[in-house]
Amino acid sequence: MATRKIVCQNRKARHDYFILDEYEAGMVLVGTEIKSLRLGHANLKDSYAKIRNGEVFLDNMHIGTYPFAAHDNHDPLRTRKLLLHKSEIKRLTGKVKERGQSLIPIRVYLKGGKAKVTLALAKGKRKYDKREAIRQRDEKREMDREKRNSRKT
């Protein structure tokens, strides 16, 4: 089994979206990008995936420039192609066309020396959904605290 090293995560995605399904995709990168990823210089904030001409592309993902490259460094915000099976792309194309569903990258990691991204098919939460999730989390935290305190006495 290949080891996985998580490079970066989009923690806010679970707060802003309902995650319906997840897909693992490979990334097409240039040399300085993979070196920079191995150093952990990546950020998924405000990034998203789009399907164009039967191919999936990741937009707005920031991979910092590689500090040891003299002149052939990459553009940090360039559009990157994602590698998925054709059947997965067709399935995603149909689902993304539905109202309110989008492709959001959740995490980027290294698996067996290759850069992978976990894409989530997601539906946006409304403000009241977010408040409800926060309220439930606070209630659960309070119940756990009560359990812990009752065990101590």
pLDDT of residue 117: 94
* Spatial contact of 40 and 7, defined as CB atoms under 8 Å apart: yes
Q: What is the pLDDT of residues 39-92, one digit of tens each?
A: 888 888 888 899 999 899 999 988 888 888 777 888 788 899 999 999 999 888
Mean of all residue pLDDT scores within the chain: 86
- pLDDT band for position 1 (50/70/90)? low
Task: Tell me what pLDDT residue 2 has.
Answer: 64
Q: Which domains does the chain have, with CATH numbers?
A: 4-126 (2.40.280.10)
Indicate whether 137 pLDDT > 90. no
- Alpha-carbon gap, residue 55 to 90, rounded angstroms: 10
The tokens describing 41, both together, are 């210089």
pTM value? 0.78
Greater confidence (150 vs 26) lies with: 26
Q: What kind and span of H or E run contains 51?
A: strand 48-52
